[in-house]
Amino acid sequence: MMKNDLLFSKRDLRRLMIPLIIEQVLTSLMGIVDTMMVSNIGSASMSGVSLVDSVNKLVIFLFTAMATGGAIICAQYLGHRDRDGADRAARQVLLSTFTLSLLVMGLCLALRKALLRLIFGTVEPAVMEAAETYFLITAFSYPFLAVFNAASAIYRAAGSTRLPMIISVCGNLLNIAGNALLMFGLHLGVAGAAIATTGSYAFTATAMLIALHRPDPPVRIGKLTSLRPEPKMILRVLNIGLPTGIENGMFQLGKLVVQSTVSTLGTAAIAANAMVTVLEFMTSMPSQAIGNGLMTVAGQCIGAGRQDQARYYIRRLTAVSALVLLCMNWGFYGLSGPICRIAGMEADAKAIALHVLLIISICKPILWPLAFVPASGMRAAGDVRFGMMVSTLSMWIFRVGLTTLLCRVLGVGLVGIWCGYFVDWGVRSLAFTLRFRGKKWADHRVID
């Protein structure tokens, strides 16, 4: 394979990846600021918001999976030089994701108290009160989340990532400004944080819809009032999105079960884990952005019939991801002490957080890249069921089962939670490496 024969040059990859990385990093930085702002109104409020965020992430992963299904199909159509097929796939993923979001919003609003007590029934009353308030308001953000995820995935499938980056960053800035006004200016507490979050999602969704109706969008949607279901195309989207949604759903559901174990460790451990989770998530952002961009690259390669190039880009971008992750982990570990002080964390919670972050900084750069990045490339070829099975089994056996044993039975504490994560990452790394070395993942057919 000659380098001048590659579908994506170094310049193409930079134009695709750099906005994705900037978006993810800035979004996560603003997430840290958001967490620090909430932490200043008390550990109970921070803990309540953290618990609800675990539920909200489950919903976000569900919408992201549906959007990913459509994005993969769009990318393959574009690689195959079939613009009409890409347009039709984009319309169906937008319609189906929005419809799903309305159903999820209705269920969460109707069952919010029962859900919170089922998952986090043992938490302190002040924590539960904050969680109920935050959940009630943020549930109204689900349709906006769905639309933004679908629209940005459509842009990403076409290799256009700059505009979604700008809109996402503006939305996060709006969220922080809203927090400052509503929480500290008007003293609305947790409710103010929830209103600011919902308002920022409404802004990003509206901006992305306007962008899709510009004269020269990367994929054409047409008038929203003219959208109609196309069962065959929806089935194609679901064929990719549903296994990915199950995988992501099981992943986040497992995290909720783990979070319920964290909730038994006391308020200090809950607050420490909230900060650890934000910082750990932050270190993953550039590598996750590379994985998201890889789905566009590999999808277009597969659509063009160039499985050899898909393999080449998966290997190359996995190596880049590992290097970036190493730098991010140790960089943020160096900043973790000042961040905890600025956040106003109590001494016992801070000590627990710093101890756990040191262990993560050692283990994660070794285990994480092979566990997630190659899977994104293989998913772009339509190989979604294998990833679903491996991820689900590893999640429940190791991340959930092992952490339950370590924390609830052996009393290891918060370190036991993250030991389960490390074993889960290691098992995934082995499984996806073996899968990538074979041929089955590249033989799937997603488009005609």
Angle between helices 125-138 and 189-212 (to 10 degrees): 20
Tens-of-pLDDT digits for all 448 residues of the chain? 545 577 788 888 888 888 888 877 776 666 666 666 776 666 677 777 777 777 777 787 778 777 877 788 888 888 878 777 777 788 888 888 888 889 989 988 888 777 777 766 666 777 777 777 888 888 888 899 888 888 888 888 877 788 888 888 888 888 888 888 887 888 777 888 888 888 988 999 999 888 887 767 667 676 666 667 777 777 777 777 778 777 877 776 777 788 778 877 777 888 888 888 878 887 888 888 898 888 888 888 888 888 889 899 999 999 999 999 999 888 888 888 888 887 777 788 888 888 888 899 999 999 999 999 999 889 888 888 898 899 889 988 888 888 888 888 887 888 888 888 899 999 999 999 999 998 888 877 777 6
CB 65 within 8 Å of CB 245: yes
Q: What single letter denotes the amino acid at residue 72?
A: I
Residue 176 lies in a domain: yes
CB 27 within 8 Å of CB 172: yes
Residue 190 lies in a domain: yes
Residue 448 lies in a domain: no
**How far is Cα 237 from Cα 438, in angstroms, rounded to an integer?**
25
Residue 246 has a pLDDT of 79
Domain count, the chain: 1
Q: Which of 253, 244, 254, 232 is nearest to 295 (CA)?
A: 244
Residue 28 has a pLDDT of 64
CB 227 within 8 Å of CB 91: yes
Residue 36 lies in a domain: yes
Which 8-state DSSP code applies to residue 343?
Answer: T
Residue 430 has a pLDDT of 95
Residue 341 has a pLDDT of 80
Residue 339 lies in a domain: yes
Q: What single letter denotes the amino acid at residue 390?
A: V
DSSP structure string for 371-409:
HHHHHHHHHHTT--HHHHHHHHHHIIIIIIHHHHIIIII
Residue 320 has a pLDDT of 92
Q: What single letter denotes the amino acid at residue 252?
A: Q
Residue 399 lies in a domain: yes
Count each helix (H run) and each strand (E run) in the chain, helices first.
14, 0
Structural domain for 161, as ranges: 3-443
Torsion of CA 165, 142, 292, 51, to 10 degrees: 100
Residues 6+ apart with CB under 8 A from 387: 243, 244, 247, 375, 378, 379, 432
Residue 365 lies in a domain: yes
Q: Quick one: tokens of 40?
A: 């200043």
Residue 408 lies in a domain: yes
Q: Which of 343, 334, 360 is nearest to 276 (CA)?
A: 360
Residue 369 has a pLDDT of 93
Angle between helices 10-39 and 267-303 (to 10 degrees): 160
